[in-house]
Structure 1
Amino acid sequence: MSEIQPTPTSATEALDAAHATVEALARALELHDYRRGRFGESASHTARVTRLSLTLTENVAPEIALEPQLAHGFRLHDIGMIGVSNSTLLKPGALTAAELDEVREHPWLGERIVAPVPALGGLARQVIAGHHERWDGSGYPRGLRGIEIPLAARIFAVVDAFDAMTHEQPYREAMSLDAARDEIRARAGLDFDPDVAAAFLELGAAMLEPEL
């Protein structure tokens, strides 16, 4: 009787499982937004920042641009918002200090959510945990500064801020492309890695034009 040979499916199955996990978490975040009356809004934001962050990474750090974990991290950057109470997220007025602290825990919560998932380690966790850290140390949750902040998180921070600037927010209208670029330039070396901000500002206007 001939020996049964193992089939080379384990790697494919692992990739399929990783993809399914990412899709499940992304869907959970979308449904969470649906409960907050923001169905579709978050998905549109995520698609925009993922695309632009990958483009910027190709210019700043091409050696990591094709790593699947990177795109997963960009896509699930706000997964920790699932752990923030609806009473805080839906509050129409200004948040109290305690409520602000709760919101500022979401990167840490996100890191805890994805910790058991191998496909969401490394670069993905760096983005999820560090996308609200700031170059001058004024960010959260850990108050990292400068190159203590992982490069992937520094890249995403610029793109995430730009997307927020160029789309309408509850507290202000959308900024023009030129005004948003000026704001990124002004905050380089404060909120943002100056080299990453400079690379972002070198991207063509057509690439930065706000999408719906």
Structure 2
Amino acid sequence: MRETVLVDAALSPIGVGIAIATIGHPWGTLVVLPLIGLLFVFSQERQRRLDHALELSNAYRGTAMLLGEMIEADDAYTGSHSRDVVELVLAVADRMGLDPRTRRQAEFAALLHDVGKVKIPPEIINKPGPLDADEWALMSTHTVMGEEMLGQVGGLLGDIGHVVRSSHERWDGNGYPDGLLSEQIPVAARIVSACDAWSAMTTDRSYRAAMSDADAAEELRACSGTQFDPRVVDALVAVLGV
């Protein structure tokens, strides 16, 4: 994207030059024609850069979706959890008016927020009941491990490592791994957290049945301002229409 910005920067003075050359100067055409040719070349280059960036982004998206499916293959209860969370995350991001970069971070983090669980033993992931203290201590490391894994990949995926790390932080500062408070938590992580919780509450688990949409929405509201960002809860409830 940096290269595309440089091309855009080069186009701006060319456009200004064309405007100046054609205002009250009989020799304007002699200046304009070469500039138009140069503008055409730059425009083609800009489009090539944009096409390449889109192609690269789609490749990363496909990789993220594949990794998300691999994670869920070891979890007997999540099914299409990550894809469901992605749909909600994008809807909430759009409602909150997130900028394109943050929206993309939220999308990819929704797909990969549980990537660190591949390093957690399946018997803990699929335990038919609440985790004990030792099991929970191990499970709670998955966000840090996820950040480390994505950092090794780099690129767009490496760019969301900090979001994955913060996806289980709480608005009141009582989350993990860093105990971040309110606005210290990346907004993409705040959105993923609430949408992830909604999906989990409305999905059958080994130790409980799925909650109704109405009950899950009530739980979201009850946790607004403590576990979740109130603005995110408002946007999510509005998107869900509950």
Deviations 1:96-129 (A, max 9, x none): 212101111111111111113211244x224311
Taking structure 1 as reference, are residues 174 and 65 closer, same or farther at Cα in structure 2, changes over 3 Å only?
farther
Instruction: Specify the alignment match of 1:90 in structure 2.
Output: 126
Deviations 1:131-170 (A, max 9, x none): 1100111111111111111111111111111111122222
Equivalent residues in 2 for 1:108-147, closer than 5 Å: 108-116=144-152, 117-122=154-159, 124-147=160-183
Contact 1:73 1:126 (8 Å CA) reproduced: no
Equivalent residues in 2 for 1:182-201, closer than 5 Å: 182-201=218-237
Instruction: Specify the alignment match of 2:66 in structure 1.
Output: 27
Taking structure 1 as reference, are residues 36 and 204 closer, same or farther at Cα in structure 2, changes over 3 Å only?
closer
Deviations 1:154-212 (A, max 9, x none): 1111111111112222222222222111111111111011122122223352xx6xxxx
Taking structure 1 as reference, are residues 87 and 172 closer, same or farther at Cα in structure 2, changes over 3 Å only?
closer
Moved more, 64-73 or 171-180: 64-73
Task: State the one-letter code of the partner of 1:190.
Answer: T
Question: Which runs of no fewer than 5 residues in structure 1 stay unpaired?
Answer: 1-6
Taking structure 1 as reference, are residues 188 and 153 closer, same or farther at Cα in structure 2, changes over 3 Å only?
same
> TM-score of the superposition, structure 1-length normalised?
0.79
Deviations 1:31-53 (A, max 9, x none): 34334545xx43x2111110111
Output the aligned Cα RMSD.
2.6
Contact 1:29 1:82 (8 Å CA) reproduced: no
C-alpha distance in 2 between matches for 1:36 and 1:203: 27
Taking structure 1 as reference, are residues 173 and 118 closer, same or farther at Cα in structure 2, changes over 3 Å only?
same
Contact 1:126 1:152 (8 Å CA) reproduced: no
Contact 2:67 2:112 (8 Å CA) reproduced: no
Structure with higher Rg: it is 2
Taking structure 1 as reference, are residues 58 and 188 closer, same or farther at Cα in structure 2, changes over 3 Å only?
same
Instruction: Specify the alignment match of 1:173 in structure 2.
Output: 209
SS of residue in 1 equivalent to 2:239: coil
Higher helix share: 2
Shift of 1:86: 2.0
Identity of aligned residues (%): 32
> TM-score of the superposition, structure 2-length normalised?
0.70
Task: State the one-letter code of the partner of 1:101.
Answer: A
Equivalent residues in 2 for 1:139-158, closer than 5 Å: 139-158=175-194
